[in-house]
């Protein structure tokens, strides 16, 4: 588990979460499969700063 320290948009406008572990992860709101309406607003993204985030890359490295 790591924490969120910021967001940026990639070259096609997708939001990317920046993680304290050094990794990043694309975040999308694509109902019904991915329900993250908070990513669509500045306020929603700001509320996530400092919150815990599960980093799949770190988990995969730890399992190897």
**Per-residue confidence (pLDDT) for residue 59, from 0 to 100:** 94
Q: Is 13 left (phi over 0), alpha (psi -120 to 50) or beta?
A: left
What are the mean pLDDT values of the chain's consecutive 10-residue runs (64 residues total)? Answer: 96 96 94 92 97 95 86
**Per-residue confidence (pLDDT) for residue 9, from 0 to 100:** 96
Radius of gyration of the chain (CA): 12
The DSSP secondary-structure symbol of 34 reads: B
Buried b (16+ CB within 10 A) or exposed e, 5-24: eebeeeeeeebebbbeeeeb
**Per-residue confidence (pLDDT) for residue 19, from 0 to 100:** 98
**Per-residue confidence (pLDDT) for residue 64, from 0 to 100:** 81
């Amino acid at each position: 588990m790591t924490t969120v320290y910021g967001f940026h948009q990639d070259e096609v406008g997708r939001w990317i979460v920046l993680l304290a572990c050094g990794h990043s992860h694309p975040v999308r709101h694509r109902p019904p499969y991915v329900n993250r309406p908070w990513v669509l607003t500045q306020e929603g993204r700001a509320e996530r700063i400092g919150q815990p985030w599960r980093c799949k890359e770190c988990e995969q490295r730890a399992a190897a």
